[in-house]
Amino acid sequence: MYTQQEQPISVQEMCERYEKVPVADIYDVLDSEDYNLPNQCLSLDIKPLTPYMHLAGPAFTMKGQRDMRVKEELDRGKFADQGMFRALFSNCVIIINAEKESLTGCFGSMMSRSCKNQGARGVVIDGGTRDAEDILRIPNWKAFVRHWSPIESYKRFRANDFMCPIAMTGTLTSQVRINPFDWVVADWDAVIIVPQEIAYEVLLKAEELERGEENTRHDLDRGDPIWEVYKRYGRL
């Protein structure tokens, strides 16, 4: 059973601060000798619907598969009586292993609105969405997906479990494991997964790294020679 660990600051503040830190800085922290976690970056084929999207929050995991069954053939289990929507929690990021499913849009604008109403911040899909243009009209909602498609997922693809460990396609490795409540952070570069147990300390180190990066950018922008900037701040 996975539970959300308490952090020194609120989940809301964690989300807001993570959304201000570039994913590249978070990757560098995870890749460092402190953690040696270089394989937390999801496939670079998973992109924001539009540039400049930033998304962060604890993972509400979902997994699914190609499935041609219809209502009378299905045992809805945990999904009965809108069970998935009822299980959503404030500030979560819905992250869906759709097995790189390339045919359908398995998460559309009505799903997005319903999940936002239950407190979710956005969605990351190792697969596709539909209603892309309408999704962009939803205030403060973010979507990172492989593709968009008009094809309805019903009779073709179905989620079969939620709040369970899932595997998402990685960049440097074929799979990245995501547990419920791990932190999902995404921007124009990529989507990265931060294990829940180190999420707060990684945030602090990434913020510290970004402060140094900002100083470096400032000095380079005013024309300082690179060798002087390197002496001040080290690695560029």
Q: What is the pLDDT of residues 213-236, one digit of tens each?
A: 888 889 989 999 899 988 888 776
The lowest-confidence range among 67-81, 122-136, 161-175, 193-207 is 67-81
Tell me what pLDDT residue 204 has.
Answer: 98
**What's the pLDDT band for 203 if we cut at 50, 70, 90?**
very high
The lowest-confidence range among 70-84, 118-132, 150-164, 180-194 is 70-84
Structure tokens at 188: 């124009």
Residues 175, 173: Cα–Cα separation, whole Å: 6
Burial of 36 (0-12, 13-18, 19+ CB in 10 A): exposed
Residues 150, 103: Cα–Cα separation, whole Å: 9
**What's the pLDDT band for 80 if we cut at 50, 70, 90?**
low
Residue 83 pLDDT more than 90?
Answer: no
